[in-house]
Amino acid sequence: MIAVKELPKKFGEFGGQFVPETLMNALIELEREFIEAREDNDFQQNYKYYVKEYSGRPTPLYYAENLTNKLGGGKIYLKREDLNHTGAHKINNVIGQVLLARKMGKKRIIAETGAGQHGVATATICAMFDLHCEVYMGQEDMERQALNVFKMEMLGAKVNPVTSGTGTLKDATNEAIRDWVAKVEDTFYVIGSVVGPHPYPTMVRDFQRIIGDEVKEQILQKEGRLPDYLVACVGGGSNAMGLFYPFIDNKEIKIYGVEAAGLGVDTNKHAATITKGSMGVIHGMMTYLLQDDNGQIMPVHSISAGLDYPGIGPEHAYYHKIGRVQYQGVTDKEAVEAFQYLTRLEGIIPALESSHAIAYLMKLAVNTRKEDIIIVNLSGRGDKDIHTIRKVLGGQGNEE
């Protein structure tokens, strides 16, 4: 077999490498190592070993019978990414990237995090492999997600508060890039989503596609056929891309990405990048983003810190542009309702991010036929969000 020398840098007009020159050789080296790893049987076996033995894959594809009966439409299956070690799909990608860092001999790992899930996953894998780990996190997010900060510190990571800009995920990402520019020679930057300069969107997709690959096998086993609908939430979009990608060429399957509509897409407090954004450059990629007329990136809002991002992965931007995936908004309020709904009906507490997917499912399912099959990616569990939910619902023990 002839080895691939280079991967496509763009998805249509999206993606690319809009970064300082200082990083360019590092990206070229990363791409080369990644291409090698892709075709290296030992690397792939190693990746499969850790996602299985350490993180617990394959995750179940659970037939949500109560939810199905209640909504009265097609059969609903939940892909249980929440059952991964550290509680979300994030670890799939971190295992892949850290194995790559080890292959490249990099000893210092950095990451950005919003809600803290990617940070915790990175700190976890670095603890296991005994690597120095620093996580950039917005000051505001550190306050909102104090428990995850503590977890990362317990795991031996250093959490660097980011006060620049709006003090949230986009600024943490800027700061991680700035760190990488300064220390590019010994540092590996583990990006947490299908965002950033090439090859990150492709690489993260490849480490997350195990979600969709498993789903394909599982649904064929259970139903003897492929699904009719796929639903997943989209911030940067890694859990969605992981589920969607293996089905992209199955044109008969309808695919829905669910964005955070915050307080509503007609307010200025949302993170509905596709619905309301326009083309531009953020974090080294050409994509859709929320910006003003002068190209200044706008503050975003979502009740879920994991969807609180003004951009979106370039491959999603491309699937939107060609009409392959439909992107829909779900508000904070709808997400909170879906959170409670799933918790009560199935005894599964979803992350607020995943609750957005459930909320859209609730609208979608009623319009489907009983013989249809719908698969929703339950990307993470809701333990980290209990505090937020308690505040919203004004429950007892609310200390704020």
Partner 1 sequence: MKSRITKRFELLQAKQEKALITYITAGDPDLNTTQQLVLEMEKAGADIIELGIPYSDPLADGPVIQRASQRALAGGANIDTIFQLVESIRRDTEIPLVFLVYFNCVFKYGLERFLNKCHRKGIDGLVIPDLPLEERSELQNMMQQYAIDLIPLVAPTSEERIKKIVANASGFVYCVSSMGVTGKRNSFDVDLAGFVDKVKKHTNIPAALGFGISTPETVEKLKNQCDGLIVGSAIIEKIEEGLKDNTITENVCSFVKKLDEAKNIA
Contact residues: partner 1, CB under 8 A: 9, 16-26, 164-165, 170-171, 174, 177-178, 181-185, 278-284, 291, 293-297
Question: What is the smallest separation between the CB atom of 283 and partner 1, expressed in angstroms?
Answer: 8
Residue with tokens 């979502």: 302
**The two three-digit tokens of residue 317, written as one number:** 């931007």
353 part of the active site:
no
90 part of the active site:
yes
Question: What is the smallest separation between the CB atom of 137 and partner 1, expressed in angstroms?
Answer: 17
Query: Is the CB of 28 or the CB of 253 nearer to partner 1?
Result: 28
Backbone angles phi, psi at 312, to 5 degrees: -155, 150
DSSP 4: P
**DSSP H stretches of helix in 104-209:** 117-129, 139-144, 146-154, 169-182, 200-208
Letter for the amino acid at 394? G
**DSSP H stretches of helix in 301-351:** 314-321, 332-346
Sign of the torsion formed by the C-alpha atoms of 199, 204, 207 and 211: negative
Question: What is the smallest separation between the CB atom of 306 and partner 1, expressed in angstroms?
Answer: 20
Using left for φ > 0, alpha for ψ between -120 and 50, and beta otherwise, residue 381 falls in: beta
Query: Is the CB of 162 or the CB of 373 nearer to partner 1?
Result: 162
Question: At a CB cut-off of 8 Å and minimum separation 6, what does 220 contact?
Answer: 226
Question: What is the smallest separation between the CB atom of 196 and partner 1, expressed in angstroms?
Answer: 11
Instruction: Name the strand (E) or helix (H) holding 273.
Output: helix 273-276
Selecting among 33, 112, 259, 346, the annotated active-site residue is 112
Question: What is the smallest separation between the CB atom of 183 and partner 1, expressed in angstroms?
Answer: 7
Query: Is the CB of 178 or the CB of 254 nearer to partner 1?
Result: 178
In the chain, DSSP assigns E strands to 10-11, 14-15, 61-63, 75-80, 108-113, 132-138, 158-162, 187-190, 229-233, 254-262, 278-282, 285-289, 325-331, 373-378
112 part of the active site:
yes
CA 204 – CA 195 distance, rounded (Å): 8
The torsion of the CA quartet 208, 212, 217, 220, rounded to 10 degrees, works out to 170
Selecting among 55, 193, 238, 379, the annotated active-site residue is 379
Question: What is the smallest separation between the CB atom of 26 and partner 1, expressed in angstroms?
Answer: 7
Query: Is the CB of 84 or the CB of 173 nearer to partner 1?
Result: 173
Selecting among 55, 75, 79, 90, the annotated active-site residue is 90
Query: Is the CB of 72 or the CB of 295 nearer to partner 1?
Result: 295
The Cα angle at residue 254 between residues 367 and 307, in degrees rounded to 5: 95
Query: Is the CB of 20 or the CB of 395 nearer to partner 1?
Result: 20
Task: Return the active site residues.
Answer: 90, 112, 379
